[in-house]
Amino acid sequence: MAKGIFITLEGGEGAGKSSQARMLGTALEDKGRNVLLTREPGGTTGAEAIRKLLVEGPGGKWDGITEALLHTAARRDHLVNAVWPALEAGKVVISDRFVDSMTAYQGYAYGVDRTALATLYKSAIGDFKPALTLILDLPVEAGLARAAQRVGKETRYESMGTEFHERVRNGFKEIAKAEPDRCKVIDGTQSIEAIHKIILAEVEKVL
Ligand SMILES: Nc1ncnc2c1ncn2[C@@H]1O[C@H](COP(=O)(O)OP(=O)(O)O)[C@@H](O)[C@H]1O
Ligand SMILES: [Mg+2]
């Protein structure tokens, strides 16, 4: 069994995941922990190549099932070549998004059958799960407004429309309800520093 600990950050566009992942990584390194800060889709050369297919270009270029397959291929490469070796080495692995994003986006938002998604995960990945998942919750309009400030080409999911993102937000809440021990929902409207403190307190409990 893995010796390290796997922590994931989840939530909609602009919820603050990447900011909080970076701050958490720095705080844990300052405490003397070995940290791997990574992201999905991505985190390895192969998975970053798949990421480009998923996050760039027009919204309708894949259907939900194709997307789930691409995310799962990227996820397996990320786990095999980055996450699992780091956990074996005793690191704290922090991933900016993981499988709950697939459940929320392709499942709750696109409407891909969630039992099929769970079967896909089980077949490709197995029983592996994060020790702790921090879900940042923010009203959709606020998150999209924050995300719009960013520069770059990774706008495909952002372009999906408000109703899509409402379903994503609701999906994350349902996921947290189903697995309350693993998932902590955090009010993302608070200040960056206040959220950081809450996250650190939750992480201390699992370290
Ligand atoms: N709690 C917060 N309050 C205000 N602005 C925030 C907060 N968290 C993040 N931001 C800002 O919102 C934008 C999106 O944050 P980011 O961490 O990239 O979100 P995500 O990775 O979830 O899409 C960034 O410009 C970031 O500085
Ligand atoms: Mg981000």
Contacts of 80 (CB under 8 A, 6+ apart): none
**What are the residues facing 180 on neighbouring strands?**
none
Angle at 56 between CA 78 and CA 86, to 5 degrees: 15
pLDDT in tens, 60-113: 899 999 999 999 999 999 999 999 999 999 999 999 999 999 999 999 999 999
Question: Which atom of ligand 1 is the closest one to the Cα of 19?
Answer: 17
Please, which residues bridge with residue 135 across strands? 10, 185
pLDDT (0 to 100) of residue 33 = 97
Integer Cα distance of 88 and 86 in angstroms: 5
Residue type at position 202: E
Whether the Cβ atoms of residue 76 and residue 124 lie closer than 8 Å to each other: yes
Q: Would you give the DSSP letter of residue 91?
A: P
What is the distance between the alpha carbons of residues 206 and 6, in angstroms, rounded to a whole number?
10
Name the amino acid, one letter, at 152.
G
Report pTM.
0.96
Shortest CA distance to 176 belongs to which of 94, 104, 122?
Answer: 104
Tell me if the domain spanning 5-206 has CATH number 3.40.50.300.
yes
Atom of ligand 1 nearest to the CA of 189: 1
Residues 6+ apart with CB under 8 A from 26: none
pLDDT at 2 over 50: no
Write the CB contacts of 115 (distance below 8 Å, at least 6 apart in sequence).
none
Of residues 6, 5, 27, 30, the one with CA closest to residue 96 = 6
Half-sphere exposure of 12 (CA within 13 A, CB side): 33
Does the Cβ of 192 fall within 6 Å of ligand 1?
A: yes
pLDDT computed for residue 86 by the predictor: 98
Q: What pLDDT sits at residue 150?
A: 86
Residue-range domain boundaries for the chain:
5-206
81 lines ligand 1 (CB under 6 A): no
Nearest bound ligand to the CA of residue 147? 1
pLDDT computed for residue 141 by the predictor: 96
Amino acid at position 206, single letter:
V
Query: What does the pLDDT look like over 25-62, one tens digit per residue?
Result: 999 999 999 999 999 999 999 999 999 999 998 888 99
14 CB near ligand 1 (under 6 Å): yes
CA pair distance 174, 104, nearest whole angstrom: 9
State the Cα–Cα distance between residues 50 and 125, nearest whole angstrom: 17
